[in-house]
Structure 1
């Protein structure tokens, strides 16, 4: 079993690498499509696009919504009108392909429709992935079913626009009915991801208001959908003191909680680069300490971000130490979810570069440990690994589920871990060299200043992430 899954994972990684080599053309395509769906104002779009290996692939999946819509009716049985997969040339659209502006852009052949993966019944570890919701939030359910997920994440609207069209009541009703029919508990196992534009720590009054309104709109969408968790990046200091920035985030959460009813705001730990908040457990602790309603705040731990920030989880002993520190500094009760990603960058690199499971610097062992940690049972465990096609996540879900009950000295497990590690060795070597060069450059130019005169590694981004072109999840 392990060998077959390892082979599939290697194939997926090879495909993702090829995808990365086509980054320039993909970026151009993404820009053309974004222009047709109303981009955010240039002055406000202060964050880089996401890693093209994962979320550009997800965006491509979004633009190929006919496949999703074609199977949605059968999977959900909630009255969603199916749209036939198009076999026409690009740009040729008939009247039936006008359900949404995105569906008009679909370029999917019938032979590309994925056969849904079987979900593992009776599991305690709720593994899934960040799936597309193109054509309506209800289609995220279909996409999760396609990969055999028992949990899922999604964007509730465009992650690159401040203002989006209102959530249609028909879509909200279809989502709630689809979750009930297919056994997804939206209060526990659905983890929406917030917009990359949102920075609740922003000191500019106008931009802070814009960020808060976007944030509040997401929370209200969650509650209309019956979703109980909402994951977001804490933000960045942008020239303010860290203490003031953390206070601003907490004040925004308190205000948002007073304007909504039940959705829990889930802070994500970050890789720790520059001015980004959340690389240290203490950042999250200090925000939570200032939140009035402690029942409505939590934390999502991203394994890649943990590793990049210097938290080594590669052995049982080091993993236990990190989790013990989390419990001591923040509190175990606040852990609401995990993002499951390997890392393309070395330990403490502060680089947010996700890799397929077992191919990166983390390796397979920490994911075996996670899948056997009873404290994580029933939490959404969400893949954000590079994805060339849906079956990549389907195979990774099965790989992770197969690790339950497996000991670290199991010969088959060790062979699979080595095989995956060997497959990713080339990329790790390249990434290691790049990290060394970056570190040497930083030492050579310690006081390099940005466009607005900031230093100490801070970016000029309005949003919550650094603007070095790295991954944003």
Structure 2
């Protein structure tokens, strides 16, 4: 059975995200380690970290993962924002390390007023500086596939491959594959042959072994729209088939997968519970 979980809120304490994951029937959990729309965050206390790790052990939740701040842009040509983004990503890795989280998911960045090539170089240089400042930290950055809105990079597998190739320490980088983003970026996944072709391309450019996490989300917008809008599993433009292929892909049976689908209730039942049940029902 695949390792399935969801992104959960840290409101009221980091351990609360783990408790919520357990209540929903998750195997794994994703969280922010601070407010994702602010640069600064309250320092983590030993109590925070102990309660979080204790909750993971108590509930048997594995593969905790964090997502970095949406303000970070390592692709920015503006020096002030670029340096601020480097500092912020260093802090994200430090916080993950304190909490015992092995991976921090990060959107690669947007080139804004420069060019695609300049943006990719800027991201690789930014990651090199982050790595220089965190030599003893085990937590790694996972570059997320994006939908490619605006000047966002990472919507082609080649973008991720180029960033990794340019990085001085590529072994400290992995990839997070977001199903909605890849579909919105234009990759086909509905038919089995299309899914296999997309995964072949991923393997050829980035390497399937570099994929350390999945975000499992359906897409509100059509294939190739380059618009990032998540939908419940099987209720968007993707339908159930891409998820059926993924749930039964033996290459990824030990890679954790996290829902980032809309939250709420339907007929008194938690939507995360419904989405997890749908995904598990697709396993052959």
Q: TM-score, normalised by structure 2?
A: 0.95
- Equivalent-residue separation in structure 2 for 1:289 and 1:210 (angstroms): 24
Shift, 1:398, TM fit: 1.6
Q: Is the 8 A contact 1:131 1:153 kept in 2?
A: yes
**Residue 233 (1) aligns with residue 101 (2):** no
- Which of 61, 64, 84 is residue 210 of structure 1 equivalent to? 84
Q: Deviations over 1:99-129 (max 9, x none)?
A: xxxxxxxxxxxxxxxxxxxxxxxx4x11111
Shift, 1:242, TM fit: 1.7
Shift, 1:164, TM fit: 1.3
Shift, 1:241, TM fit: 2.0
- Equivalent-residue separation in structure 2 for 1:304 and 1:400 (angstroms): 15
Matches within 5 A, 1:253-264: 253-260=127-134, 261-264=137-140
* Counterpart residue number, 1:291: 167
* Counterpart residue number, 1:327: 203
- Which of 126, 146, 163 is residue 40 of structure 2 equivalent to? 163
Q: Deviations over 1:77-103 (max 9, x none)?
A: xxxxxxxxxxxxxxxxxxxxxxxxxxx
- Equivalent-residue separation in structure 1 for 2:243 and 2:40 (angstroms): 38
* Counterpart residue number, 2:180: 304
Q: Is the 8 A contact 1:194 1:232 kept in 2?
A: yes
- Equivalent-residue separation in structure 1 for 2:126 and 2:177 (angstroms): 21
**Residue 391 (1) aligns with residue 232 (2):** no
- Which of 123, 126, 129 is residue 3 of structure 2 equivalent to? 126
- Which of 222, 225, 236 is residue 360 of structure 1 equivalent to? 236
Q: Is the 8 A contact 1:190 1:380 kept in 2?
A: no
Shift, 1:202, TM fit: 1.4
Q: Is the 8 A contact 2:49 2:99 kept in 1?
A: yes
Shift, 1:237, TM fit: 0.2
- Equivalent-residue separation in structure 2 for 1:345 and 1:220 (angstroms): 36
Q: Pick the structure with greater CA Rg.
A: 1
Shift, 1:336, TM fit: 1.0
* Counterpart residue number, 1:84: none
Aligned to 1:153, the other structure's residue is in SS state: strand
Shift, 1:184, TM fit: 2.8
Shift, 1:284, TM fit: 0.5
Identify unmatched segments of 5+ residues in structure 1.
Answer: 1-122, 406-473
- Equivalent-residue separation in structure 2 for 1:355 and 1:180 (angstroms): 31
Matches within 5 A, 1:183-202: 183-185=60-62, 189-202=63-76
Which of the pair has the greater relative contact order for Cα pairs under 8 Å at 6+ separation? 1
* Counterpart residue number, 2:54: 177
* Counterpart residue number, 1:411: none
Instruction: Give the RMSD, CA atoms, in angstroms.
Output: 1.3
Aligned to 2:14, the other structure's residue is in SS state: coil
Q: TM-score, normalised by structure 1?
A: 0.58
Matches within 5 A, 1:10-159: 123=1, 125-159=2-36
Shift, 1:250, TM fit: 1.2
- Equivalent-residue separation in structure 2 for 1:350 and 1:287 (angstroms): 20
Q: Is the 8 A contact 1:267 1:297 kept in 2?
A: yes
**Residue 273 (1) aligns with residue 149 (2):** yes
Shift, 1:151, TM fit: 1.0
Q: Is the 8 A contact 1:191 1:380 kept in 2?
A: no
Shift, 1:293, TM fit: 2.3
- Which of 276, 281, 284 is residue 402 of structure 1 equivalent to? 281
Q: Is the 8 A contact 1:339 1:383 kept in 2?
A: yes
- Which of 121, 128, 146 is residue 247 of structure 1 equivalent to? 121
Shift, 1:216, TM fit: 0.9
- Equivalent-residue separation in structure 2 for 1:153 and 1:277 (angstroms): 23
Residues matched between the structures, number: 279
Q: Is the 8 A contact 1:344 1:354 kept in 2?
A: yes
- Equivalent-residue separation in structure 2 for 1:207 and 1:223 (angstroms): 24
- Equivalent-residue separation in structure 1 for 2:247 and 2:209 (angstroms): 19
